[in-house]
């Protein structure tokens, strides 16, 4: 409860600061704020629906209606020191891995504009992986309550500490913006299970704009380490050569992670349609997956009804024979069988899912909207999808429904 009171207090403070900034138009500093207040209900009572793998709980088992899934508040300060030199800091408060709302720095970088078309940034910058990456945390900029999770969960990391270069050029009536990023990223897993490290992370993205059409192509590669797997695969290594071989194959310890994505959006104003496809290969037990979605909506004055269909599937093995228990002493044979079962459980959670979403956006005031969204998700095989905290009597696979209500704002 204290974390929610702190969130309300922070929202009030940011609103006051934004109003103060508006009265100081000549300042080199500009302040903007944004946020979402939402509640979510899930029909699955034996697990929690969550919007991020980095959150510790959600709607369903922990609470029938949960405000932590989508609610957040953020502020961004831009400093324009000269026409070429600027800096930005963005701070966000949302549910974190430790169930707190402690604010964290999402962006913090210095930018130098060498020419009108070429710039460089150093510090913490956004990873432009998806069409909506730049505004992924700003619910007001999106037609939905949240981006389609089948695609956007393929790459849950949103920023990188390092260097970002951007170059814009024109070919006829087409405008291309090529961005290159190099750096690293650290994320904490839920309930302090450990950290996820991405090192030697580099990404190249090309965004093309032509009238109402925007397309984006992305390739990303990094060395990935997920600490929560370390002790599990160390147990395999106790089984000498065959255990070492399994650990080398599945342990995400400095394993290569690759992602490729393609997206397109057409928005002439009265209506919109957009679609994205992504694929990653972790070269580990996390597996290889592909996902896509298509979404469209029609604007009727202040109301925008929309529909989305999204699908995700595994493109790697979902089970393995694991350790050979035959010939081992009874105590070791039992351990081997248990390790094999756990590994197959990890591999099986990646089998796939599909979601149909129907929603309505209502722009009821300047810079504010309200959204109602219904999601129906069907899981394939032993997949768990966006469900965490499974209880002992939870049955994988099957289907569940989610109802989301949200109010977004920007100031």
The stretch 297-317 carries a mean pLDDT of 95
pLDDT band at 20 (very low <50, low <70, confident <90, very high): low
The CATH code for residues 36-65+124-410 is 2.40.160
Cα(182)–Cα(184) distance, rounded to whole angstroms?
7
Question: Three-state SS for 3?
Answer: helix
> How does the average pLDDT of the chain come out, rounded?
91
pLDDT above 60: residue 143? yes
pLDDT above 80: residue 191? no
* 37 DSSP β-pair partners: 407
The pLDDT value recorded for residue 3 is: 47
The pLDDT value recorded for residue 25 is: 52
Spans of all domains in the chain = 36-65+124-410
pTM of the model: 0.89
For residues 343 and 200, the model is more confident at 200
The stretch 245-269 carries a mean pLDDT of 95
The pLDDT value recorded for residue 293 is: 98
The stretch 359-377 carries a mean pLDDT of 98
pLDDT above 80: residue 350? no
**Lowest mean pLDDT: which of 9-23, 111-125, 175-189, 339-353?**
9-23
**Neighbour-count burial of 192, counting CB atoms closer than 10 A to its CB (0-12 exposed, 13-18 middle, 19+ buried):** exposed
**Neighbour-count burial of 170, counting CB atoms closer than 10 A to its CB (0-12 exposed, 13-18 middle, 19+ buried):** exposed
Contact 29, 372 (CB under 8 A): no
């Amino acid at each position: 409860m204290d974390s929610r009171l702190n969130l309300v207090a922070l929202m009030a403070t940011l609103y006051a600061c934004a109003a103060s900034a508006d009265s100081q138009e000549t300042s080199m500093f500009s302040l903007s704020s944004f946020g979402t207040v939402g509640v979510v209900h899930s029909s699955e009572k034996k697990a929690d629906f969550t919007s991020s793998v980095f959150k510790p709980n959600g709607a369903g088992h922990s609470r029938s209606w949960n405000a932590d899934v989508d609610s957040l508040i953020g502020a961004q300060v831009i400093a324009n020191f000269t026409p070429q030199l600027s800096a930005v800091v963005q701070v966000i408060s949302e549910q974190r891995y430790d169930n707190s709302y402690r604010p964290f720095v999402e962006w913090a970088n210095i930018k130098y504009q060498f020419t009108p078309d070429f710039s460089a940034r150093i510090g913490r910058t956004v990873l432009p992986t998806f069409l909506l990456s730049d505004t992924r945390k700003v619910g007001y900029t999106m037609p939905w309550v949240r981006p389609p999770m089948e695609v956007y969960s393929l790459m849950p990391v949103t920023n990188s500490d390092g260097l970002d270069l951007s170059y814009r050029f024109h070919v006829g009536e087409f405008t291309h913006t090529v961005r290159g990023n190099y750096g690293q990223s650290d994320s904490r897993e839920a309930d302090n299970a450990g950290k996820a490290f991405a090192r030697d992370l580099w990404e190249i993205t090309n965004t093309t704009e032509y009238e109402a059409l925007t397309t984006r192509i992305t390739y990303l590669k990094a060395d990935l380490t997920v600490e929560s797997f370390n002790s599990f695969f160390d147990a395999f290594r106790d089984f000498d050569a065959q255990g070492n071989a399994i650990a080398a194959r599945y342990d995400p310890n400095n394993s290569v992670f690759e992602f490729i994505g393609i997206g397109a959006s057409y928005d002439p104003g009265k209506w919109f349609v957009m679609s994205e496809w992504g694929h990653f290969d972790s070269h580990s037990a996390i597996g290889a997956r592909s996902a896509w979605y298509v979404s469209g909506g029609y604007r009727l004055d202040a109301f925008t009804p929309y529909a989305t269909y999204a699908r995700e599937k595994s493109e790697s093995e979902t089970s393995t024979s694991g350790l050979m228990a035959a010939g081992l002493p009874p105590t070791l044979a039992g351990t081997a069988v248990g390790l094999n079962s756990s590994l197959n459980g990890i591999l099986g959670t990646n089998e796939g899912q599909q979601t149909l979403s129907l929603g309505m956006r209502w722009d009821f005031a300047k810079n504010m909207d309200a959204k109602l969204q219904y999601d129906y998700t069907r899981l394939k095989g032993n997949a768990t999808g966006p469900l965490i905290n499974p209880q002992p009597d939870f049955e994988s696979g099957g289907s569940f429904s989610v109802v989301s209500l949200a109010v977004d704002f920007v100031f």
